[in-house]
Amino acid sequence: MNKRTTRLAILGAAVAVGALAISTASLPASAADADPGINVVGGTPADEGEYPWMVRLSMGCGGSLLTDQIVLTAAHCVDATGPDTSITASYGSVDLDSPDVVDYQSEYVHVSPTYASSGIDDWALIKLSEPVADAQLLAIAETGDYDEGPFEIMGWGADSEGGSQQQYLLKAEVPFVPDAECADAYGADLDPDTMLCAGVPEGGIDTCQGDSGGPMIARTEAGDPVQVGVVSWGQGCARPGYPGVYTQVSNAAAEILAAADELATVA
């Protein structure tokens, strides 16, 4: 299974309801040989302001604002830990061509040490060169209370497996897939301690190419969003029997928050 570097878009017709996409970055073990697609197939266009913490990254990935100067994304979307001024983060509208979109340049990247050594814990942080004006932030799940869905996925990725990236942000809802069921599809490539699966058995709803690094969210009892997953990998886009695989944020939350605190001090 290839990672969803282009992973989340939502299938559709006139309004580009498309499919999310998976990155083609390195995956765990044999997963690296699988297909590079996964998308929000079967979704609908997001309303302006519905997911105000969403960020589009110039390498073709998504992300979310963890702080006003730090983006949470997938490790397979970036290179190594260290100074990096090559990434542009676009923020401010569901329409990437909107005049409300503001571009921010990266300053430093932190890659999950576990991902760098073993290919699991697929998350990374990007520090921007300046704070985002009027930033809206997305809280991350620090416990597993919301890890069984239902979930919302969103992104600007391909509108079909191998398709084009989207101008407008697309969204969809997907149910939780238990570890045992997900392992039936992916075998030893699935690490249930660090990965979370979501999708429908018959396929048709998923993230896709260009959605890697974007968030999967659940809702608290009060209706507030909380990030439970990072779009990571899967087999194709919205294929029957192959759910999307997401980095399980609750498992890595303490390390993510500690890294963000440290990154905030990096000059």
The answer to whether residue 82 scores a pLDDT higher than 70 is yes
Residue 206, phi then psi, degrees to nearest 5:
-175, 170
Decide: helix, strand or coil at residue 191: coil
For residue 163, the model assigns a pLDDT of 81
On whether the CB atoms of residues 24 and 5 are closer than 8 A, the answer is yes
**At 232, is the pLDDT very low, low, confident or very high (cuts 50, 70, 90)?**
very high
CATH number at residue 191: 2.40.10.10
* Torsion, Cα of 193, 199, 201, 205 (10° steps): -160
Domain count for the chain, please give it.
Answer: 1
pTM over 0.85: yes
- Separation between Cα atoms, residue 21 and residue 7, nearest integer Å: 2
Catalytic residues: 76, 122, 212
For residue 3, the model assigns a pLDDT of 56
Render pLDDT for 126-169 as a digit per residue (tens, 0 to 9).
Answer: 999 999 999 999 999 999 999 998 999 999 998 778 888 899 99
Range of the domain at 236: 1-267
CA angle, corner 31, sides to 233 and 178, nearest 5?
60
